[in-house]
């Protein structure tokens, strides 16, 4: 069989296992229904309170959010259990007794790696909006089921019950695949934990834009203005220096102009991310991306701003 024939065979095999467009629509509709399913709400608040009550400092939480990495840590950590468990499934397809140790080792590695992946996921989850939290809860349930099935698979393998171990492993793979699909929906459809200020340089017209008279700006207080079409937070510091940041918080698009101004920083009113007014640096999370900053100048008593 030539290379192109193999490719075509793979493509038709993939088409056979993927749902047709009608079933795809039903799957998507079911996930979207989850976003609006208020029956999931009673446990949400309790779990959120429990996550907030974990004995973690603000610095610990920043590490878990991925502040040091510049993007969320959770999606990076989940690669380890996903990779080891998928590799175990491939090895399980190969006949021969000596290989049974390798899948067991991979499953055990995945179980250990699932712990930090789950912790980072819960810490991120507790700072989401409700529709995202609902999907996140089902995502976590699917992954918890996978962890249970893989732990049972490992136990069966250790007791020498390899057929049962393989069957449980494949059931675990199915559960973690559902969890992964929901995680994809959370990130790519619901924009959870992505940088919500990423498009500011594209959407903001270049050049200087008038923001009004400097004397109209209250000292030390946040006000909302626009630079072209882009909403911005404007703070007049003492000495007439004026700081301008994009108003939509990079974490989840919260209105920074309604935030608190403390020590040269603004604290987002939604989840408490802190951004330095002088350069937009995200001093603390849950935001993992800095805030776009504008440079300012004074012309005849008027303040003008442009994207730095
Ligand atoms: S929107 Fe979440 S910290 Fe600003």
Q: What pLDDT digit, counting tens, does each position of 34-77 carry?
A: 899 999 898 999 999 999 999 999 999 999 999 999 999 999 99
Domain extents in the chain: 3-189, 200-307
Question: What is the residue-averaged pLDDT of the chain?
Answer: 90
What is the number of the ligand 1 atom nearest to the C-alpha of 127? 2
Q: What pLDDT digit, counting tens, does each position of 78-135 carry?
A: 999 999 999 999 999 988 765 578 999 999 999 999 999 999 999 999 999 999 999 9
With b for 16 or more beta-carbon neighbours within 10 A and e for fewer, the 60-79 pattern comes to ebbbbbbbeeeebbbbebbe
* Percent of the chain whose predicted confidence (pLDDT) is above 70: 92
C-alpha distances in Å from residue 251, one per residue of 100, 128, 216, 270, 287: 45, 9, 30, 9, 4
| Distance between Cα 136 and ligand 1 center (Å) | 18
What is the number of the ligand 1 atom nearest to the C-alpha of 287? 3
What is the number of the ligand 1 atom nearest to the C-alpha of 259? 4
CATH ID of 200-307, from 1.10.10.10, 3.90.870.10, 2.102.10.10, 2.40.110.10: 2.102.10.10
| Ligand 1 touching residue 275 (CB < 6 A) | no
- pLDDT of 149 reads 98
Ligand 1 pocket test: which of 258, 270, 283, 285 has the largest number of ligand atoms within 8 Å of its C-beta?
270
């Amino acid at each position: 069989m030539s290379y192109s024939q193999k490719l075509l065979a793979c493509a038709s095999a993939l088409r056979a296992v993927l749902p047709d467009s009608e079933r795809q629509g039903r799957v998507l509709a079911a996930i979207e229904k989850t976003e609006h399913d208020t029956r999931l709400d009673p446990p949400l608040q309790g779990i959120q309170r429990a996550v907030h009550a974990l004995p973690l400092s603000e610095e610990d939480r920043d590490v878990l959010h991925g502040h040091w990495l510049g993007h969320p840590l959770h999606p990076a950590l989940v690669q380890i259990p996903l990779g080891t468990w998928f590799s175990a499934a491939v090895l399980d397809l190969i006949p021969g007794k000596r290989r049974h140790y390798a899948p067991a080792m991979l499953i055990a590695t995945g179980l250990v790696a699932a712990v930090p992946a789950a912790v980072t996921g819960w810490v991120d989850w507790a700072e989401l909006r409700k529709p995202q939290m609902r999907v996140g809860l089902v995502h976590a349930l699917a992954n918890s089921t996978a962890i249970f099935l893989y732990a049972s698979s490992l136990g069966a393998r250790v007791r020498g019950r390899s057929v049962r171990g393989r069957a449980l492993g494949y059931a675990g793979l199915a559960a973690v695949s559902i969890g992964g699909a929901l995680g994809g929906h959370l990130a790519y459809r619901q924009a959870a934990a992505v940088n919500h200020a990423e498009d500011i340089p594209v959407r903001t017209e270049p050049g200087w834009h008038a923001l009004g008279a400097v004397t109209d700006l209250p000292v030390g207080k946040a006000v909302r203005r626009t630079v072209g079409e882009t909403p911005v937070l404007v703070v007049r510091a003492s000495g007439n220096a004026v700081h301008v940041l994009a108003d939509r918080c990079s974490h989840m698009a919260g209105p920074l102009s309604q935030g608190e101004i403390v020590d040269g920083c603004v604290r987002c009113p939604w989840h408490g991310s802190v951004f330095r007014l002088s350069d937009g640096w995200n001093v603390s999370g849950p935001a993992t991306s800095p805030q776009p900053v504008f440079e300012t100048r004074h012309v005849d008593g008027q303040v003008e701003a442009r994207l730095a």
